[in-house]
Amino acid sequence: MSGIASAEIGAQVLSRTFPAITRHRLALYCGASGDHNPIHVDIDFAKASGFPDVFAHGMLAMAWLGQAITDAVSPERLRSFSARFVAITQLGAELTCTGTLAEVTERNGERVAFLELRAVDQNGDVKLAGEAVVAI
């Protein structure tokens, strides 16, 4: 925790890169999440819907972003976490999830840090953008 508490505003305080998204990983995520939308696993359905192939669940990318946060901060210090989906995450994408220190303040009698979050693919395309508030 001392890393975030002592970081300068604008410093990257968390970063984690996840393995490339595969069809197998999407099938496993369908089972684990209960989200069986065929757009994520059925190439014929995806093509009939106007897409070149299946693509990742947005919540898979958000879960990885959450994991990057809790790798840097113990879960009991996480006060809030939100993200918006910016772009479709294609098969083969290797997402890097980062957090940048935006502000340190006091809220409800507790010192907290506001983190700007991003999940970007290997081409630098933003897939998710969000924020987290963590106690420091």
**With 80 as the cut, is the pLDDT of residue 2 above it?**
no
pLDDT of res. 3: 84
Query: Of 27, 18, 7, which Cα lies nearest the Cα of 61?
Result: 18
Token pair, residue 74, equals 């113990």
**Distance separating alpha carbons of residues 30 and 60, to the nearest angstrom:** 10
Asked whether the predicted pLDDT for residue 5 surpasses 90, the reply is no
pLDDT at res. 31: 95
- For residue 102, how many other CB atoms are within 10 A of its CB? 16
According to the CATH classification, is domain 2-135 in 3.10.129.10?
A: yes
Instruction: Please check whether residue 96 is in contact with residue 65, taking contact to mean a CB–CB distance below 8 angstroms.
Output: no
